[in-house]
A = this chain, B = another copy of it.
Amino acid sequence: MKIAVDAMGGDYAPEQIVFGAVRAAKKYHCDIVLVGDEQKIRDVLKHENGWENLGITIHHTTEVIEMDEHPAEAVRSKKDSSLVVATRLVKEGECDAVLSAGSTGAAVTAAQLILKRIRGIGRPTIATPIPTPKGATLLLDSGANVDSKPIHLVQSGMMGAIYAEYVFGTKNPKVGLLNIGEEETKGNEQAKETYALLKEMHTINFGGNAEGRDIPKGNFDVVICDGFVGNVVLKFAEGLAKTIMKLIKEAIKDGGVLAKLGALMLMPTLKKLGKRLDASEYGGAPLLGVNGVCIISHGSSNAKSICSAIGVANDYVNGNVLEHIRDALTQEEVLADEGEKK
């Protein structure tokens, strides 16, 4: 197992990326290729005693794709960027997976242009695990594409279910269609058409419409939606969690001695709960639908998240997810996007 890590992508790159990679190399005993500016990577690595004895190598690159660059232009013009080279290492069979915490748009574009889509898949999709009391719900598409066709949402459902089954170990995962009501007749045109297609699928355990509240409650294993909606929901959740934490801290600060003491006593319990709901435990979101394992990490990833994400990459490879997706497409012809069959 060898993972290509974009060492230059992310708000805390290269430090946190490199530290995370070292941690993962120890934890998962996998080989890691750190792709990026060799000198900068070495400057971080020198703080890690004995890293030379782990399976870590450096692949030097001279360019970096910035967060605000146009994804397609950047990927096309910066041939020697850490992201493009890391993705190419997977294409060329040098590595089993690529991971980046840089621009999501650029990572999706690089995967599409270099790894190419799986034959029959119309659009790749980002599957983000949302922690719930029952484990995690996979939300997809969480931002790779907008204005998707119903068949793309159906394909998301199929790919998400395969991922949930072979990576999370969920048997016969229940797939829900994100909608604004439970009834079949509810929703926008996209949702109504997708519902009609999903009903006919034999390879997908379709559980009907999921409402917004079903996501945090964990009522479905997989929830599918357009990337516009998925992205809004994810960022809303992120903002809400941060805002509530900030307000609780302020309230405790203003709450006097009793509140402060109470908070102190309650802290271990809340920390345990926080850990259970911490999205960074999942580290990264798989991009599904391309010919290669690609993990997209949050821009604000720290070493711990990167380490978890490398664990996710391992599981994704070991789950043979790509083969299972190709299989599903041959098993159920109607699943393939007409325009994408060759």
**Contact surface of A with B, Cβ cutoff 8 Å:** 132-133, 143, 146-147, 178, 180, 187-189, 191, 211-217, 225-229, 231-240, 242-244, 246-248, 251-252, 254-255, 258-259, 261-270, 272-273, 276-277
Contacts and interface: CB of A to CB of B under 8 A. Distances in A.
A261 B191 CA distance: 48
Contacts of A146: 180, 187-188
Nearest to A145: B188
Closest 5 A/B residue pairs (Cβ):
A213-B239, A262-B265, A212-B235, A212-B236, A262-B266
22 contacts: A133-B243, A133-B246, A143-B180, A146-B187, A180-B227, A180-B235, A212-B231, A212-B236, A213-B235, A213-B240, A213-B242, A216-B240, A232-B233, A233-B233, A237-B240, A244-B244, A247-B273, A248-B273, A251-B273, A254-B269, A258-B268, A261-B262
A252 to B, nearest CB: 6
Contact of A251 (B227, B261, B272): B272
A187 B238 CA distance: 19
Nearest to A256: B269
B262 A228 contact: no
Given A213-B236, A247-B273, A262-B262, 6 more contacts: A133-B243, A188-B226, A213-B239, A213-B242, A214-B239, A216-B239
A13 B213 CA distance: 23
Copies in the complex: 2
Contacts of A276: 247
A340 to B, nearest CB: 21
B252 A266 contact: yes
Contacts of A244: 216, 244, 277
A259 B251 contact: no
A264 to B, nearest CB: 7
Contact of A228 (B180, B213, B234, B240): B180
B252 A259 contact: no
A181 B277 CA distance: 25
B239 A240 contact: no
Nearest to A269: B255
A226 B225 CA distance: 15
A238 B240 CA distance: 11
A188 B240 CA distance: 24
